Amino acid sequence: MATVAKTKLRNFIGGEAVEPAEGGYEEVVNPATGEAIAAAPLSTKADVDRAVAAARTAFDNGSWSTIPPNERARALLRMADLIEARGDEIADLEAADAGKPRAAVIEDEIEVMADQLRFFAGAARCLEGRAAGEYMEGHTSFIRREPIGVIGQITPWNYPLMMAIWKIGPALAAGNTIVLKPAETTPVTTLMFAEWCGEILPPGVLNVIGGHGEPAGAELVTHPDVDMVSLTGSPPTGKWIAKAAADSLKRVHLELGGKAPVVVFDDVDMETAMETIAGTGFYNAGQDCTAATRHRRRPAGPARLLPRAGGGRRPRAGRRDDPEGDLRPGDHRAAVFRRGQGDRVGQRDPLRPRLLGLDPRRRPGDASRQRAALRLRLDQRPHPAGLGDAARRLQGIRLRQGSLDVRGRGVHGDQARDDQPRIDAALATTIHAS
């Protein structure tokens, strides 16, 4: 097992590890121990300009964008091999950086990241499009797929490197070049991965800079030479990016989250349901956009769920290398509050479900009419007794997305917090009458 020591990180721009233009650094803290594990660069407008210029040069000179897809695929395959070869080192760094069990990184992320890069290596060689055709006399029409250009990417703190891989893989496979800013609280693995990839990719193809949303993130989003912006983050940040990108007609890719309900049907095995709710609520130390924070049942039989809710298994705190631990030791609540996610970890009992009834006889109506309290994200697995019935049941409760009232802290209007009523009588009447 590798040792995590305090490291001075640098931006990776144009194939080189470089100091930030203004020389600013800040400590990266292990949220489980409060120990500083790294010093991360604080990028400014000058650093963003330098990184975007490197990405633009690499794109325009054709060193990546015009090479055959099989060559891009080979590079992605080498990147996948690199992740596997450095798996233990990545697990140590990620466990210290993000405050999660080391075993979770080994079991759930290393092989997945390698597989994702291999998937996109294959996808790079299997592009599809319409056949050419003659729609006007003397002319042949066809569609040619081309890379977009320079992609600005911003990644979150809960799966630092894996979320970066989700963005890096498809962008590189299509022939684009990248400037990526990881979350300022968890930049370690992404900055180090970029430096490792310097031996695989041409200079300027993958650039990673540290820093905060202001100024680095904002400068990246609004930079005139960035052709597309991709964010995984909060709805307020996504709304700001969409507005800012509209001024220059940038393309945007937004993955915003989220609160996730678990849907519980009458015929479920309750022991299985409660174990699932406990596991999904505190998976990845509770730092998950699909953490099970709300639970929905049909009106019949809520008493079957409530007695078990208080007796659910509490998450186990373990050492960093404890394979049985759900959480790292230490004050996770303080760490999560610093990252604006206090509603997910440390602020609620392990199992305190929000119970909303679902009328099995009626198909729910428009989410804009029933309000966002019934807008579902069906990210959790259903557990009906008859698995063949699962698809029909999910179809029966899927809602059309209506207008959403998004609050500043990134939750939809009418979503219950721990200090708010789960559902008021007037809304309950509206739900069952619709």
Which residues are known catalytic residues?
255, 289
Burial of residue 95 (number of CB atoms within 10 Å: 0-12, 13-18, 19+)? buried
Q: Which long-range contacts (CB under 8 A, 24 or more apart) does 106-115 make?
A: 108/284, 109/159, 109/161, 109/162, 110/83, 110/84, 111/84, 112/162, 113/80, 113/83, 113/161, 113/162, 113/165, 114/80, 114/81, 114/83, 114/84, 115/80
Q: Which tokens hold the place of 300?
A: 């019949």
CB neighbour list of residue 89: distance below 8 Å, 6 or more residues apart: 2
In the DSSP assignment, the letter for residue 229 is: E
Alpha carbon distance 346, 334 (integer Å) = 8
DSSP string, 260-326: EEEEE-TTS-HHHHHHHHHHHHHGGGG--TT-EEEEEE-SS-GGGTHHHHTTSPPPPB--TT-TT-S
Nearest by Cα to 243 from 233, 255, 264, 229: 229
Q: SS3 of 337, please?
A: helix
- Decide if 15 contacts 203 (C-beta within 8 A): yes
CB neighbour list of residue 312: distance below 8 Å, 6 or more residues apart: 274, 277, 278, 350, 351
Q: Which tokens hold the place of 104?
A: 């979770």
Pairing state between β 16-18 and 25-29: unpaired
Burial of residue 196 (number of CB atoms within 10 Å: 0-12, 13-18, 19+)? middle
Q: Which tokens hold the place of 301?
A: 């039989």
Q: Which tokens hold the place of 241?
A: 């990016």
